[in-house]
Structure 1
Amino acid sequence: MTGSDASPTPAPSASAVSPASPAFRLAYVPGVTPSKWVRIWNERLPDVPLELVQVEAAEAEGLLRERKADAGFLRLPVDRTELSAIPLYVETTVIVVPKDHVVAAAEEVAVEDIADEILLHPLDDTLDWETPPGRPAFERPATTADAIELVAAGIGLLAVPQSLARLHHRKDLTYRTLTGTPQSQIALSWPEDATTELVEDFIGIVRGRTVNSSRGRRPEEQDRKPGTAAKPQQGRRQGAGQKQGGGQKPQGAGGRRKPAGGAAPKSGRSGKPRRRS
């Protein structure tokens, strides 16, 4: 076959050469479980992969400022001059103790109950203490994980958000609710000057908006001009006393229906009128 008879090589399709969908990078600090929101994201935006980035609490703000994540779950407070934040929920504060400690016999513990105990205060502590209760340890542990090891060794006790106590669970330790202490608050945060459409989509998911809400991705919502109202859905009642698909037939005088065929309604009397005397 000559070159003139050869079929030309087909050009690649637009889908073959288009760039891949951008990924949405979501950071989260230890103790936060983003699986519920990730599942909803994958259902609503299957073409946009969501990448999870685990980050230590002390590094979360810097990660967002450096644009290494589009948004993140972190603990308040955050610097609101650069980052936006939506508070989500408050965590319960607990005291982590050995299982054979006297505190383990109670269901709830007050700060006054541990005044004579050594309370470990790690450098990555997430509670905003003015003055930590109890007696200070000789040295502050570097991390919460290190503090957990010291509790297991009988060196002291540790106050943390309940999510961190669950994260660092050990069979020889337990925890009880601790009252009269600061509480950690989880928030969704992102760079204020980088509020993209994907960020707005994720905010809608976290706030519980449905797919049909104003932040949804329905084509008819996107194509509608600003300020125009949506068309009424078919099948809804058009007004009181009307049937679906059309109103009632007009009624005759006195509220009675006009019989079929156009005949006037018959009177209640029949026969000739009686002659008056």
Structure 2
Amino acid sequence: MDIDLRKLRYFVAVAEELHFGRAAARLHIAQPVLSRQIRAFEHELRAELFVRDRRSTVLTEAGRQLLADAGPLLASAEALRRRVQRAAHGRQTFTIAFMPGIIVTAEARAIAQRHPELAVGVVRTSWDDQAAVVREGRADVGYVRLPVDQRGLRLRPLFTEPRVVVLPGEHRLAGKESVDLAELAEERLLQDPDAVPEWRDLPNRPTDPEPRPRPVLTSVEEKLEHVAAYAGVVILPLSTARFYTRPDVVHVPVGDLGQNQVCLAWAENNRSPLVREFVDIAAQRAGDVGAPMPGGAGSGRSS
């Protein structure tokens, strides 16, 4: 059986909204049309995806499984479309994605020098989209910081670096040589806890009777603005904290936090020789003993 990608996109919209009306508006189609498409999709799959009544729409076990698998499949299809379009429109391109604090100039130059006909570009990513940019084909490779959703990706570990807590300049811990994670238990974390999994296991964290929603901050600059305003703290890799210096915040090493792992990621179905070549370039530079890490701390990597 072939999977109809259009119906799969319709299903994802309904599964994420859990409301046919909102999903239809999001897809810019009429609600009766969407309902017919979902029923047809269920018939093709021979599985009920939703339990529906007048008041609610709930995913079945089959629906939850399909939603879990749909993202990488749709991303793979989008990446295929992008690669075909690029191949059909002239000059070959190669795009490198990178996270804040990571400098990729040397690697970009290396691949460009080997292939003068290649248009090499770079794109900055964030915690929220670092994997999607690669899965969807917006970049051929990406420097990602773990943890990351690895579905649909292949990873090559490159280097590690310490993590630090960023504090307001006059914070009670600002002058310390280092802190332990437990000393931060009373602080408000301004970023997605999935980026700092150890935060969830902090003992003796006070319970806020009126918990404030975590602000949606997509850039390092936004996070630092909130830190400087005493709205909370963030945990960053050392190179990122050093790259985005400002006079009203400081960073302090967190002694009992493990190192941040940086990997090169590419779509598992992207078999371009250029990707394999770039992986070798990146791995060789990561193993260049004695070269400084971005931001100045030693890690055995140069860029």
Interval of TM-score (by shorter of Structure 1 and Structure 2): 0.5 to 0.7
Choose from 191, 201, 205 the match for 1:122.
191
Residue 51 of structure 1 corresponds to: 121
- Alpha-carbon displacement from aligned partner over 1:106-142 (angstroms, at most 9, x marks no partner): 2111123333x32323238632335164557733121
| Residue of structure 1 equivalent to 2:214 | 140
Q: 211, 222, 238: which is aligned to 1:162?
A: 238
CA contact (8 A) 2:131 2:150 kept: no
In 1, distance between residues paired with 2:91 and 2:278? 16
Find the aligned partners of 1:157 and 1:63 in 2 and give their Cα distance.
Answer: 27
Counterpart in the other structure of 2:134: 64
TM-score normalised over the length of structure 1: 0.60
Give the Cα separation in 2 of the matches to 1:40 and 1:197: 15
* d(CA) in 1 for partners of 2:123, 2:232: 32
Max Rg structure: 1
SS of the counterpart of 1:131?
helix
Alpha-carbon RMSD across the aligned residues, in angstroms, is 2.6
- Which stretches in structure 2 are left out of the alignment for 5+ residues? 1-88, 286-303
Task: Give aligned-pair identity as a percent.
Answer: 29
Aligned counterpart for 1:177 among listed residues 215, 233, 253: 253
Matched-pair contact (CA < 8 Å) for 2:164–2:238: yes
Contact persistence 2:164–2:237 (CA under 8 A): yes
Rounded to whole Å, the distance in 1 between the matches of 2:199 and 2:227 is 22
**Partner secondary structure for residue 154 of structure 2:** strand
**Correspondence 1:20-59 to 2 at 5 A:** 20-59=90-129
State the distance in 1 between where 2:249 and 2:159 align. 26
| Paired residue type of 1:157 | V
TM superposition shift of 1:182: 4.6
Provide the secondary structure at the position in 2 that maps to 1:96. strand
| Mapped pair 1:206 → 2:282 | yes
Structure 1 unaligned residues grouped into runs of 5+: 1-18, 210-277
Partners of 2:273 and 2:230 lie apart in 1 by 51
Q: For residue 200 of structure 2, what is the aligned residue in structure 1?
A: 131
* Per-residue Cα deviation, 1:240-272 (whole angstroms, up to 9, x for no partner): xxxxxxxxxxxxxxxxxxxxxxxxxxxxxxxxx
Distance 1:60 1:113 in 2: 30
Q: CA deviation at 1:88?
A: 1.1
Q: Sort the Cα spacing of 1:22 and 1:160 in 2 relative to 1 into closer, same or farther, 3 A.
A: same
Inter-CA distance 121–172: structure 2 relative to 1 (3 Å threshold): closer
CA distance in 2, matches of 1:52, 1:111: 35
CA contact (8 A) 2:157 2:262 kept: yes
**Is the contact made by 1:93 and 1:183 (CA closer than 8 Å) also made in structure 2?**
yes
CA contact (8 A) 1:151 1:157 kept: yes
